[in-house]
Structure 1
Amino acid sequence: MWTAMRELLHGRFARRLALAFAALGIGTAVLTAVLVNIAFTDRFHNYLADQQRVRQQQLVALFTADYQRDGGWKAPSLDQLAATVAMTGSEAKLRDAQGRKVWSLADADVDAATLAMHRNMMGAGDLGPLRSLPVTVAGQRVGTLDVRVPQGVVPAVDKDFQNSVNRLLVGGALAAALAALVVGVYTARRATAPIAELTRAAQDLAAGRRDRRATTIPDNEIGQLATAFNTMADRVEKEDALRRSFAADVAHELRTPLAIQRSELEAVQDGIREPTDKVITSLHDENLRLTRLVADLETLASADAAAFTLDRHSLSLTQLVADTVTGLADSFDEARITIRTELDEVRVDGDPVRLRQIVTNQLTNALKFVPAGGAVTVRLFREEGWAVLRVADTGPGIPADELPHVFDRFFRSRSARADGSGIGLAVAAELAAAHGGTLSAESEVGRGTTFTTRIPALIH
């Protein structure tokens, strides 16, 4: 039994929980025992005190009757009371109304040894404290009786009852401890099993098992934790896959311009080609291609910390969008894509560099997908406290299965051109979020795509 119990209590938390239940059971039983014994002791003390009061009143009544019969205190009559007083084992001394001694047991030749013998015979216990009790007749005090009566003893039957109750309480305490331990083991096992399983899942995930998930999901707070863990693990696995894909894409992107540069340089070194303007221009183009790729990576890293690096101030988003469109006008002309603007005056509190990135990334994304002869419309207006920027194109549109992923990091559409890294829209979305806004997309294959950016607008 104990071996099985130790196997059940496999964790320190489970052991502590089970022991806490056992301690609670023992503590409850001990507290009950203490309270019961206090109650019994108080009852016995009251019982003994009542016995003393009864004996004292009996002696007072005895002397009162003697006074009434004789009309005063008479020594011969008082001596006749000595035997009765001695039978109770009490000590007594009588004083008159003025406090003068009238009589005592010693005057009747009753010594302390005789009184002790009577107390032993009666089993009445030792003498209690001295009490001075008034003796009254017809409402007037005629004397004072100084008396010490036996304290009394607890009857054997009462002592046996208390002892039996104590034995019952001890047995109950042991039974309660055992029951609490069993309940604690069961409860601890049920409570800690999901935690232990979640711990093992976390350890396996940390060890590299990206497919590891928590399988025990109870309907409580621990279940919510397990669900959150599984969601986190799913995201980690997904990001790992994206990173691997991105690494492969970056390697591919770097390999091509590097290979071109290497072949061109080796050809010049070997004297096969002359370092003409055309060769130098080709090398320069490939170098620019590498520079753009590195810039994309730097932009992604800076977007992660955008909320902490924004240099905010009040600015005209209208002017910023107009300047950005103007800066890219030549690129649109070369691609034979028409760009139109409809810009209302809207001011925002933001970082002009980061806001320009948001606009630029959307416009360059349109350059990648809109074919020659197409059009891009840029609208800016104010709507319910938001600055709303819409970039709508007449491109091929985004397939429904790809639309939910357009803002994922490293995601590249199947129709994307080879000169993109697949992170521009992810950066724009994160920068919009850093400004307290959102970036969303709507698209229909064959009818184009519309990107909508919302940034909190300033009140004019």
Structure 2
Amino acid sequence: MRDLLRGRFARRLALAFAALGIGAALLTALLVNTAFNARFDDYLGAQQRTQQQQLVGWFAADYVREDGWNPATLNQLAPTVTMTGSEVELLDPAGRRVWSLADADVDAATLAMHREMMGTGDLGPPRSVPIAVDGQQVGTLQARVPQGVIPAVDRDFRSDVNQLLIAGGLAAGLVALAVGLFTARRATAPIAELTHAAKDLAAGQRDRRVTTIPDNEIGQLACAFNTMADRVEKEDELRRLFASDVAHELRTPLAILRSELEAVQDGVREPTPKVIASLHDETLRLGRLIADLETLASADAAAFTLERRPLSLASVVRDTITSLAGRFSEAGITLRTDVTDVTVDGDPVRLRQIVTNQLTNTLKFVPRGGTVTITLHRDDGWAELRVADTGPGIPAEDLPKIFDRFFRSRTARADGSGIGLAVAAELATAHSGTITATSTPGDGTTFTTRIPARSKEPAHP
């Protein structure tokens, strides 16, 4: 099917080339013949004007010789005029008829015979030519002179030119057809491969790529296709990993619940309050995991569900710190703040979630007696939030993974789903911002969140 479609397109393109070549030759032939005809018409017109002026000269000479119009002497001009094959009629200045060939007994048949003998062609249209003597019009000659004929040499030349143009047009068509086939095959080869690759990708071959990449617009399309295919393959891999991670996270509490319940059913264990409390803890763990998954799905769609409005990010940060102050106090961690007022366009609930996830993350790593410092400042059009801690830091091999879903560092003090920072990163992106982390093992970690700041602060935060 691919070769069939490619062949059809190549044939259409080649035929278009051939039609263009033949059309150009035909247009050239038309223009050349038009130019020839115009030149021949000018040539024949010049011949007729010459004959008309010759007739006028003969009649003007007779007028001067006779000092006026004399029908008797005009009859003597009749044989000379007859030899030209022309029809003439002489009028005086008042427009009255003075003389014609009929007065000399010369009829139309005689004139036609002379034209045939001389090969001068048919009569042209009538013309009125003034006759002037000493600058004064003495009469008008109404004459129809032969149109003349195109010389045989000129006719042969035009015929030869037309034959050459026809032959050139056919040759140009054949050359254009060959060039068209060659060009079409070269042009359609990457298109055909791109079409086949797209079908293979749609059929599930995620590793399918375009290998023929010409240096033109089709090459740019091929590069865009390969980029798209890379992203599709990566997204498929992420989906598989996500499903695997979810299954892993759900398997552990479900396995515990199943083993405990089967032990109770088999009489191995008694349904004591301790066993029931353990089962209850596992159900709570499942509930938290499901809630985290819902949060992650909500973060994926946050760009479409954010309820943005101008708000003071400083107020959001202060409220979040206040709500978590008790947990930090119980953990023996000191909170320090340096917050200045910055206004952003954002969803207050989602922004608070970003701050909460970062602060609760520090609770998992910062030891008792440690310190967490929260700063908020405006920096070159951005609201920059920093959360710096004095924890053990993040190993270099773990640092690129901390925003991945379900990733948990081995140094974490508390159990968790590994979703918090991934959600924070998704929500920051939904607000057209970023979140990054820097860390040196033994010197703590600093998370930096940047959200676009508004150019003007509201009157009431």
| Amino acid across the alignment from 2:442 | G
**Alpha-carbon deviation of 1:331?**
4.1
Tell me the equivalent position of 1:352: 348
Q: What CA distance in whole angstroms lies between the structure 1 residues aligned with 2:131 and 2:224?
A: 87
The answer to whether the 8 A contact 2:354-2:428 is kept is yes
Q: What CA distance in whole angstroms lies between the structure 1 residues aligned with 2:108 and 2:420?
A: 113
Tell me the equivalent position of 1:3: none
Tell me the equivalent position of 1:51: 47
Residues 166-245 of structure 1 mapped to structure 2, 5 A cutoff? 166-245=162-241
Counterpart pick for 2:133 among 130, 134, 137: 137
Alpha carbons of 1:456 and 1:34: their partners in 2 closer, same or farther (altered >3 Å)?
Answer: same
| Amino acid across the alignment from 1:364 | T
Alpha carbons of 1:17 and 1:47: their partners in 2 closer, same or farther (altered >3 Å)?
Answer: same
Counterpart pick for 1:450 among 438, 446, 453: 446
Q: What CA distance in whole angstroms lies between the structure 2 residues aligned with 1:109 and 1:446?
A: 136
Counterpart pick for 2:358 among 345, 358, 362: 362
Worse-matched range after superposition: 65-74 or 385-394 = 385-394
Q: Deviations over 1:76-122 (max 9, x none)?
A: 21111111111111101111222221111111111111111111112
**Alpha-carbon deviation of 1:395?**
3.4
Q: Is the partner of 1:218 in helix, strand or coil?
A: coil
Q: What CA distance in whole angstroms lies between the structure 2 residues aligned with 1:258 and 1:77?
A: 139
Tell me the equivalent position of 2:245: 249
Alpha carbons of 1:278 and 1:325: their partners in 2 closer, same or farther (altered >3 Å)?
Answer: farther
Worse-matched range after superposition: 445-454 or 101-110 = 445-454
Q: Is the partner of 1:10 in helix, strand or coil?
A: helix
Worse-matched range after superposition: 297-306 or 276-285 = 276-285
What percentage of residue pairs aligned between the two structures are identical?
A: 75
**Alpha-carbon deviation of 1:385?**
2.8
Residues 386-401 of structure 1 mapped to structure 2, 5 A cutoff? 386-401=382-397
The answer to whether the 8 A contact 2:60-2:133 is kept is yes
Alpha carbons of 1:310 and 1:198: their partners in 2 closer, same or farther (altered >3 Å)?
Answer: same
Worse-matched range after superposition: 269-278 or 220-229 = 269-278
Alpha carbons of 1:67 and 1:311: their partners in 2 closer, same or farther (altered >3 Å)?
Answer: same
Worse-matched range after superposition: 105-114 or 396-405 = 396-405
| Amino acid across the alignment from 1:430 | E
Residues 1:26 and 2:22 are matched in the alignment:
yes
Residues 1:117 and 2:113 are matched in the alignment:
yes
**Alpha-carbon deviation of 1:196?**
2.0
| Amino acid across the alignment from 1:376 | V
Matched residue pairs, number? 455
**Alpha-carbon deviation of 1:55?**
1.0
The answer to whether the 8 A contact 2:431-2:451 is kept is yes
The answer to whether the 8 A contact 2:6-2:188 is kept is no
The answer to whether the 8 A contact 1:9-1:185 is kept is no
**Alpha-carbon deviation of 1:12?**
4.2
Counterpart pick for 1:432 among 408, 428, 431: 428
Tell me the equivalent position of 1:384: 380
Tell me the equivalent position of 2:88: 92
Alpha carbons of 1:89 and 1:15: their partners in 2 closer, same or farther (altered >3 Å)?
Answer: same
The answer to whether the 8 A contact 1:242-1:409 is kept is no
| Amino acid across the alignment from 1:137 | V
The answer to whether the 8 A contact 2:434-2:451 is kept is yes
Worse-matched range after superposition: 238-247 or 412-421 = 412-421
Q: What CA distance in whole angstroms lies between the structure 2 residues aligned with 1:439 and 1:129?
A: 95
Q: Is the partner of 1:73 in helix, strand or coil?
A: coil
Q: What CA distance in whole angstroms lies between the structure 1 residues aligned with 2:408 and 2:230?
A: 20
TM-score by length of 2: 0.90
Worse-matched range after superposition: 58-67 or 415-424 = 415-424
Alpha carbons of 1:179 and 1:68: their partners in 2 closer, same or farther (altered >3 Å)?
Answer: same
Q: What CA distance in whole angstroms lies between the structure 1 residues aligned with 2:409 and 2:35?
A: 84
Q: What CA distance in whole angstroms lies between the structure 2 residues aligned with 1:407 and 1:22?
A: 61
Alpha carbons of 1:192 and 1:117: their partners in 2 closer, same or farther (altered >3 Å)?
Answer: same
Tell me the equivalent position of 1:309: 305
The answer to whether the 8 A contact 2:6-2:192 is kept is no
The answer to whether the 8 A contact 1:243-1:410 is kept is no
Q: What CA distance in whole angstroms lies between the structure 1 residues aligned with 2:248 and 2:163?
A: 85
Segments of 5+ residues of structure 1 without an aligned counterpart are: 1-5
**Alpha-carbon deviation of 1:137?**
0.6
Worse-matched range after superposition: 9-18 or 414-423 = 414-423
The answer to whether the 8 A contact 1:324-1:356 is kept is yes
RMSD of Structure 2 on Structure 1 (CA): 2.6
Segments of 5+ residues of structure 2 without an aligned counterpart are: none
Counterpart pick for 1:102 among 60, 74, 98: 98
Q: Is the partner of 1:311 in helix, strand or coil?
A: coil
Q: Deviations over 1:371-421 (max 9, x none)?
A: 555433222222223211111223343344543444345555566689444
Worse-matched range after superposition: 104-113 or 319-328 = 319-328
TM-score by length of 1: 0.90
**Alpha-carbon deviation of 1:334?**
5.2
